[in-house]
Homo-oligomer: A and B are copies of this chain.
């Protein structure tokens, strides 16, 4: 590790990075198990398997970190990405000015995290997004969250059971940490995953937090782990609950159109996409969040 400026956090970086990598492994296992459980008549053909691909950031002239992309095109998961990354380098001056502690680190940063976007084939199965990460400059903090995106109108209601259960899981994660304000994180999610040009929410919410640093790193890390664990439990549960429901052509059409909102959001507003593009991230990994088929009729 060459970035001495962020070296005060070496042990913590290693712990966090190992966790994100382990969580990627865990979720991949659960998603592949779902593929194995998909049977005719609704699902035919081979169970999907993740295609894992290591990548290095930059042109190879210096060590800037990298990661491991995991992408699956399966029969339940039409397209799902579960990516791990651990990167470091120097922010551009303009970008550094917006980031806590980057002035004192000389613009140096380290970041590791997991990001997941799932686009199921069956329109009755909600899409989902989860992303947790640790950031280090001269300070260290966590960020991330998880949110649910049902595609069909009758499911895009706060009272729909999938959303109720998803919210309960995210609340349970927050309940493990006195400093994790569920109501605030839920509201942050709603505010953030919103399409101003359409005055529409992207999905039905979840939690979102950023620059989370209560001064107790161990507790903050434990919280971020809990968010990952709760997501890894609830989302596969929701997929298994809905994947057995047959769907109509009209529902598939509605799903493909609703997916267009997802694309609009990610390219117009998503800071993860922006961050990735501005820091020379892995295009293939960043844009793997795009749904496999989309319609703007």
Taking Cβ atoms with an 8 Å cutoff, the residues of A that contact B are: 73, 79, 196-198, 256, 260, 263-264, 267-268, 277, 283, 287, 290-297
Kindly state the separation between the CA atoms of A292 and B293 in the bound complex, as whole angstroms: 11
Docked pose: A169 CA to B296 CA in angstroms: 31
Contacts of A294 in B (CB 8 A): 263, 293-296
A198: nearest chain-B partner, CB-CB? B283
This chain: copies in complex = 2
> A51: shortest Cβ distance to chain B, in Å?
12
Cβ–Cβ contact A290 & B198, under 8 A: no
CB distance from A55 to the nearest CB of B (A): 15
Q: A277 to chain B: which residues have CB within 8 Å?
A: 196-197, 268
Interface of A is mostly: mixed
* Closest B residue by C-beta to A199: B283
A264 touches B287 (CB 8 A): yes
Closest A-B pairs by Cβ, 6 of them: A290-B296, A267-B267, A294-B294, A197-B277, A267-B268, A293-B295
List 8 A-B pairs, Cβ < 8 Å: A79-B297, A264-B267, A290-B296, A292-B296, A292-B297, A293-B294, A294-B295, A294-B296
State the Cβ distance, A195 to closest chain B Cβ, in Å. 10
- Nearest chain B CB to A237's CB is how many angstroms away? 27
A253: shortest Cβ distance to chain B, in Å? 11
Chain B residue nearest in CB terms to A78: B297
Task: Please indicate the chain B residues that have their CB under 8 angstroms from the CB of A79 in the complex.
Answer: 296-297
Q: Which chain B residues border A263 with CB–CB below 8 Å?
A: 263, 267, 294
> Which residue of chain B has the shortest Cβ distance to A278 in the bound complex?
B197
Q: Which residues of chain B come closer than 8 Å to A292, judged between CB atoms?
A: 295-297
In angstroms, Cα B281 to Cα A196, docked, is 13
Nearest Cβ on chain B to A37's Cβ, whole angstroms: 24
Complex interface: chain B residues within 8 A of A293 (CB): 256, 293-295
Judging by beta carbons under 8 Å apart, are B197 and A297 in contact?
no
Q: How far is the CA of A138 from the CA of B268 in the complex (A)?
A: 31
